[in-house]
Amino acid sequence: MTMIARKCADIRVDVVDINSARIAAWNSDSLPVFEPGLDALVKGARGKNLFFSTDVEGAIEAADIVFISVNTPTKNYGYGKGSAADLSYVESCARTIAKASKSGKIVVEKSTMPVRTAEVIKTILAASRPDFQVLSNPEFLAEGTAVADLENPDRVLIGGDEDTPEGRAAIDTLASVYARWVSPEKIIKTNLWSSELSKLTANAFLAQRISSINAISALCEATGADVDQVAAAVGADSRVGSRFLKASVGYGGSCFQKDLLNLIYLCEHFNLPEVASYWRGVVDMNAYQKRRFSDMVVESLFRNIRGKRIAIFGFAFKENTNDTRESPAIDICKNFLGENAVLAFYDPKVPEAQIRADLGIEEGDPRAVFCRTPYEAAENSHAIVLLTHWDEFKTLDYAKIKKTMAQPAWIFDGRNCLDHRLLLELGYLVRAIGKGNVS
């Protein structure tokens, strides 16, 4: 929304939420999310044509286009538990829009929705008045690079009712907003269901690439191959492409797991068990990779980490964000805590309270230490376990760090971002992902 405000000075954008604390944060100097470049963008538009408020109904009534950007978490209760999306926020949004609108509007699904959610929204809106148009306009930005992704997207996808003049006009109206800064050939127009399914499929394909290279990483470790070399050789084929082939401790983030589960649920719902089990394999491989990595740590430390201090470098699900949703660090650290290790955490952006909440660690629990620098975390540790690819980890003084650690000093590089040869020369014992050649 901030990018629309920035690119379209003549359009007023109102961001509304019933959560007043969140709105207050968006109106304050310290925004509720960390995203490189976002601060300047928000502060440049806020109060001019970008407004944050709790006046939900007032903003709906004043708007021509209403975007629904609410959570669609995986259901943790009842029907479809563990795989279906919880649409209760979407439904309640649609009801609020129906109630607050005195004229027909274009209503845009911005959250990632399961296929045919637009039907739910349409049905609720149509019960109040006939002149609403529902569009699907999924967002493809990635966290950490959101501003650049929005400024220069690979594509903008708009799905709508292509079969009626009103539907086509609504698609064109939304397309004209993006056309202020996105070239027309990048604006893809489809029917509603294709748009909804494309978003789930895009995330499933991306997650599948990571699970594919992670599966190969296990084989690399067994055979003496190097997964980065294999990825480079495979990715050099232009049909495969080199991006998104970085082996890791597993993918995290708010989208991949949720959207895959959603896709699997849809396949099951439409009685396509073979398709469901194909995608289930991607999810299973990700869980396997996290387990495999934490087992590697425990086994290397002589199958005993009870009472041993382990430095955790990074807790966010990826670099350049403070987001920990579905972060692989959560499962891996829970495994270590299950072995009664003492964890010394350092992440440049994730607050202590968030780590505590994710791991269920009470204040005063001696199994967790929160550090202000990676040096402090490493002190007296038996091992450094690197879980997030923060740039600053690459340039630390590892010679200095080693002297402060318990010996032998281990490094487990869960992101393959350190110079393993140098670390070996410094006398560390090193294990990494898919590096059959490092030990």
**Span 121-140, contacts to ligand UDX by CB under 6 A:** 139-140
User: Known catalytic residue: 290?
Assistant: no
Q: Are strands 429-432 and 309-313 parallel, antiparallel or unpaired?
A: unpaired
Binding mask 143-162 for ligand UDX (x = CB under 6 A): x-------------------
- Per CB under 6 A, 35 contacts ligand UDX: no
Does 52 sit near ligand UDX (CB under 6 A)?
Answer: no
* Closer to ligand UDX by Cβ: residue 244 or 375: 244
Least Å distance, CB 104 to ligand UDX, is 30
Q: Is 363 helix (H, G, I), strand (E, B) or coil?
A: coil
The residue among 143 and 358 lying less far from ligand UDX, judged by its C-beta, is 143
Distance of alpha carbon 2 from alpha carbon 47, whole angstroms: 12
Q: What is the DSSP string of 246-312?
A: ---S---SSSHHHHHHHHHHHHHHTT-HHHHHHHHHHHHHHHHHHHHHHHHHHHHTTT--TT-EEEE
Cα separation, 207 vs 213, whole angstroms: 10
The encoded tokens of residue 181 equal: 């800064």
Backbone φ and ψ for 59, nearest 5 degrees, come out as -70, -40
What six digits make up the tokens of 253?
């983030």
Subset of residues 308 to 337 that bind ligand UDX, contact rule: CB under 6 A? 317-318
Place of tokens 């966010």: 316
Return the residue nearest ligand UDX (CB atom).
Answer: 253
By CB under 6 A, tell whether 413 contacts ligand UDX.
no
Which residue in 199, 258, 290, 308 is the catalytic one? Answer: 199
35, 105, 122, 139: the catalytic one is 139
Residue 35 annotated among the catalytic residues of the structure: no
Q: Single out the catalytic residue among 93, 220, 255, 417.
A: 255
Q: How far apart are CA 243 and CA 290, in angstroms?
A: 21
Q: Does 246 bind ligand UDX (CB under 6 A)?
A: yes
Q: Smaller CB distance to ligand UDX: residue 140 or 313? A: 140
Give CA–CA dist 333/249, Å, rounded. Answer: 12
Minimum distance from residue 130 beta carbon to ligand UDX (Å): 33
Q: Is 255 a catalytic residue?
A: yes
> Which of positions 187-216 make contact with ligand UDX (CB under 6 A)?
203, 206, 210
As a whole number of angstroms, the longest Cα–Cα distance in the chain is 73
Cβ atoms 397, 390 nearer than 8 A: no
| Near ligand UDX by CB under 6 A: residue from 8, 56, 120, 141 | 141
Instruction: Please give the residues from 248 up to 267 whose contact with ligand UDX meets the rule CB under 6 A.
Output: 248, 251-253, 255-256
The catalytic residues are: 139, 199, 255
Chain contacts with ligand UDX (rule: CB under 6 A): 139-143, 203, 206, 210, 244-246, 248, 251-253, 255-256, 317-318
